[in-house]
């Protein structure tokens, strides 16, 4: 007798009813993936007409919040390679959302700064993202919502900043 599993024993016979998720139903990794994909889809829906994909928003948002940041630092914060920052920054620049400014103390680097258009776009996107996230978390109680982001930050090794979560949605009002 092998494969003695708690879920979905092999004698489920010939797959008539709804298929069982089997081992996958106990995997945090798989649950993470499914949640991520669902949220990602709804994000695109919410921001579709702004033409802001998630990383484009992330990059813009970080530049707004850290005026003068250089590309390498942006890559480190976003935990992606420098080479992948280039096209993101190119696009933000081309669309007039940011400027690349020479850094007197280091002629290799460019200081990134959001333009007025960039700040406005980020502001509009943040409002929609607040509504989007509220929608995604509608199945969770307030306490659960606050807990989730903290748990995720710890799993993802993200720095956890002080204060309540979901401030994003709390500034969605007028």
Partner DNA sequence: TATTGTTATACTCTATAACTATA
Partner DNA sequence: TATAGTTATAGAGTATAACAATA
- Report 131-170 residues binding DNA (CB under 7 A): none
Is position 151 an interface residue for its own copies (rule: CB under 8 A)? yes
Is position 109 an interface residue for its own copies (rule: CB under 8 A)? no
Measured from the CB of residue 83, what is the shortest distance to DNA in angstroms?
3
Give CA–CA dist 16/30, Å, rounded. 24
3-state SS record for 45-76: HHHHHHCCCHHHHHHHHHHHHCCCEEHHHHHH
Is position 62 an interface residue for its own copies (rule: CB under 8 A)? yes
Q: By CB under 7 A, what part of segment 76-115 binds DNA?
A: 79-87, 89-90, 100, 106-110
Q: Give the residue with the Cβ less far from its own copies, 86 or 160.
A: 160
* Bridge partners of residue 114, in order along the sequence: 98
Q: By CB under 7 A, what part of segment 52-71 binds DNA?
A: 53-56, 70-71
Residue 21 interacting entry, from DNA, its own copies, none, C-beta within 5 to 8 Å by type: its own copies
Instruction: Single out the residue of 9, 27, 31, 33 in contact with DNA (rule: CB under 7 A).
Output: 33
Residues 160, 147 contacting (CB under 8 angstroms): no
Cβ-based neighbour number of residue 65 at 10 Å:
11
Residue 89 interacting entry, from DNA, its own copies, none, C-beta within 5 to 8 Å by type: DNA
Is position 44 an interface residue for its own copies (rule: CB under 8 A)? no
Give CA–CA dist 168/148, Å, rounded. 15
Cβ-based neighbour number of residue 98 at 10 Å:
25
Q: How many residues bind its own copies (CB under 8 A)?
A: 84
Measured from the CB of residue 59, what is the shortest distance to DNA in angstroms?
9
Residues 71, 86 contacting (CB under 8 angstroms): yes
| Backbone dihedral angles phi then psi of residue 104, each to the nearest 5 degrees | -55, -40
Instruction: Single out the residue of 50, 53, 73, 172 in contact with its own copies (rule: CB under 8 A).
Output: 73
* Bridge partners of residue 106, in order along the sequence: 103
Is position 32 an interface residue for its own copies (rule: CB under 8 A)? yes
């Amino acid at each position: 007798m092998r494969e003695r599993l708690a879920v979905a024993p092999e004698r489920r016979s010939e797959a008539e009813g709804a298929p069982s998720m089997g081992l996958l139903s106990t995997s945090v990794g798989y649950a993470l993936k499914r949640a991520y994909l669902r949220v990602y889809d709804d994000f695109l829906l919410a921001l579709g007409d702004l033409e802001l994909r998630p990383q484009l928003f992330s990059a813009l948002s970080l530049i707004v919040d850290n005026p003068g940041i250089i590309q390498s630092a942006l890559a480190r914060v976003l935990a992606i390679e420098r080479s992948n920052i280039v096209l993101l920054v190119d696009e933000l620049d081309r669309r007039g959302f940011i400027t690349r400014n020479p850094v007197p103390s280091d002629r290799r680097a460019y200081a990134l700064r959001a333009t007025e258009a960039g700040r406005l776009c980020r502001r509009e996107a943040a409002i929609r993202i607040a509504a989007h996230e509220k929608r995604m978390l509608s199945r969770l109680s307030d306490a659960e919502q606050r807990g989730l982001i903290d748990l995720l930050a710890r799993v993802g090794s993200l720095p956890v900043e002080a204060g309540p979560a979901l401030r994003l949605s709390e500034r969605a009002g007028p």
